[in-house]
Amino acid sequence: MNQKILIGLIVGLVLAAGAFAVIHHHNSAAASQESAGTSVPVNQLLTQAAQYEAQGNLLGAKQDYDQIINNYPDYDKIQDVQDKLGVLNIKLIFSPAQIPSDTISYEVVPGDSLGKLAAKYHTTVQLIKRANGLTSDVIRAGEMLRIWTAPFTVLVNKSQNVLFLKSGGEVLKIYRVSTGKDNTTPVGTFKIATKIENPVWFRPNGAPVPAESPQNELGTRWMGFNDPHYGLHGTIHPDEVGQQATEGCVRMDNKDVEELFDILPVGTEVDIQN
């Protein structure tokens, strides 16, 4: 090969390699800048949210978490933010904070009781008590109560074994659950028809199992659907939560089902999807 041509080829290859390196460096730098551009505002919002929580400003912290989820969905730790927001939303539900469109401030009048107020506003006695720091069922005329009035709904996704607590279209918290093995959990829209603390388990073709028994498959809470064969309940098998392992009911960690038990009134809609 002609020496001049060979030298020209070598020079061309060197220049091409240099150009590739420059382009690669530019793309890497751009990606780094994009990542940094995302992480900086997210970190600022996380820091501010933590400060708000430490100050007791739960609504301020919620706004920051919502902003991250809505504006930075590709943040590499978005699941952690969703978990933080879920915990915070439950704190808000059980707090005395007034939330526009979700709560009211109610003045107790003669003849009121917690049961009557819970029925009137479609909430639970437990939620009224927890939000107002009540240690007994006694309320007095003139007392001001914070009452949650926004309806809750529940969505269960069987393929992911998760339960979404929702209100007004907003997902408030996501829970891990167990659903039926061999696809035995029914699909459809149901309503919570019964609620029982520390339920007795009436096992098929066997003697009733008392609430305190370690063999009681229902755990600490039962929320039965308007289909009497199915419901939400606790568990004595926490290691199976997240799996398709039940006879058809939706099973949760006891601490989670106890949390929902205090929030969800009879009549709450439960939508179960594949």
Q: What is the pLDDT of residue 154?
A: 98
Per-domain boundaries in the chain = 3-93, 103-148, 152-273
Residue owning tokens 């659950």: 177
Mean pLDDT for back-to-back runs of 10 residues, the chain (274 residues) = 48 46 44 53 93 94 95 93 96 95 96 98 98 97 98 97 95 97 96 97 87 94 95 96 95 98 98 97
Q: What is the pLDDT of residue 125?
A: 98
Tokens of 193: 């028809």
Q: What is the pLDDT of residue 9?
A: 47
Q: What is the pLDDT of residue 207?
A: 87
Q: What is the pLDDT of residue 37?
A: 54
Our answer to whether residue 233 is catalytic in this structure is yes
Q: What is the pLDDT of residue 115?
A: 98
Strand 170-176 and strand 162-167: the pairing is antiparallel
For domain 3-93, give its CATH number from 1.10.10, 3.30.200, 3.30.1370, 1.20.58: 1.20.58
Q: What is the pLDDT of residue 40?
A: 75
For domain 152-273, give its CATH number from 2.40.440.10, 3.40.225.10, 2.60.40.420, 2.60.15.10: 2.40.440.10
Our answer to whether residue 249 is catalytic in this structure is yes
Cα–Cα distance for residue pair 20/17, rounded to 1 Å: 5
Q: What is the pLDDT of residue 38?
A: 64
Superfamily in which the 103-148 domain is placed by CATH: LysM domain (3.10.350.10)
- Which backbone phi and psi does 166 adopt, to 5 degrees? -125, 155
pTM of the predicted protein model: 0.83
Cα–Cα distance for residue pair 253/177, rounded to 1 Å: 8
- What is the SS3 assignment for the chain? CCHHHHHHHHHHHHHHHHHHHHHHHHHHHHHHHHHHHHHHHHHHHHHHHHHHHHCCCHHHHHHHHHHHHHHCCCCCCHHHHHHHHHHHHHHHHCCCCCCCCCEEEEECCCCCCHHHHHHHCCCCHHHHHHHHCCCCCCCCCCCEEEEECCCEEEEEECCCCEEEEEECCEEEEEEECEEEHHHCCCCEEEEEEEEEECCCECCCCCCCECCCCCCCCCCCEEEEECCCCCEEECCCCHHHCCCEEECCCEECCHHHHHHHHHHCCCCCEEEEEC
Q: Which amino acid is at 140?
A: R
Which member of 24, 26, 233, 237 is catalytic?
233
